[in-house]
Amino acid sequence: MKLTRRDLVMLALLLVVVGVGGLWWFVVKPANADANATRHTLHQVETENNAIRDTIARLEPDDGAEVRRTVERLRLAKALPVSGAVPGAVVQLERLARGAAVQLSGFKTTSSTDHGAVRATELEVRVRGRFFDVDDFLFRMHRLVAVDDRDRPVVGGRLFATTSIDMTLVEEDAGDGSRLRPDDEIDAVLKVVAFSSAEDATAEVSDGGPQAQDGDDAPAPADSADDGQTQ
């Protein structure tokens, strides 16, 4: 039997197809499977390596971050000191009064309430001075703790809040019948809330009495920063 040219071409094509199929089945496919297995193993190794690196990074001490956290705690501790004893608050109010040129003639504690981790101690304070100076005293007291334009706390001293103000003109200025002027002398009774951390409440119960408070521990307000105020 003689093969024609067409049969030879078809046979050659068939041999080529069989050869390519055999090459793919016996060479390419096993190599591809090995490559996939290698890639899967490499992915597992990379995942484990990243987990180990993350664990090491969390275990290593970050001195810079710890210093920043310590500074932040100390800064906020000025606004909410651990002890809520009254003398420390009185010291700060006296300093503010000297800066505003007013006189504080009396202090009285009216109540003390714990709100979670914060203790609010209400004081009744008598203030005498010019109306403008009393207003300056209130401004300085409220500016001890403020919030900047990025909603970050700016702490210069203890956190105070005023709940009520009762002002009366002194006798020599009360008879003219005119409205209140900035230079008029007034007597004011303020109800001021001094905030502190309530962490010492547990210690007071366990010790059977209040903890001692040194008035010198009260931080000084930044009076120089308030001198540029506008009334």
- pLDDT above 90 as % of the chain: 16
Q: How far apart are the first and last CA of the chain?
A: 120
What distance in Å separates the CA atoms of residue 231 and residue 224, rounded to the nearest whole number?
A: 16
Assess contact for 221 and 105: CB atoms under 8 A.
no
Identify which of 187, 146, 189 has the alpha carbon closest to the alpha carbon of residue 164: 189
**What stretches of the chain adopt beta strand conformation (E)?**
103-115, 118-130, 145-147, 153-155, 160-169, 185-197
Minimum mean pLDDT among 48-62, 135-149, 206-220: which range?
Answer: 206-220
Q: Tens digit of pLDDT for each residue in 47-88?
A: 888 888 887 777 666 666 666 666 666 667 778 887 656 788
The CATH code for residues 79-226 is 3.30.70.60
Q: Tens digit of pLDDT for each residue in 7-30?
A: 777 878 888 888 888 888 888 888
Put simply, whether the predicted model's pTM sits higher than 0.85 gets the answer no
Q: Which whole number is the average pLDDT over 113-122?
A: 85
Q: Which whole number is the average pLDDT over 33-58?
A: 84
Token code pair at residue 136: 């300056």
Minimum mean pLDDT among 101-105, 114-118, 151-155, 211-215: which range?
Answer: 211-215
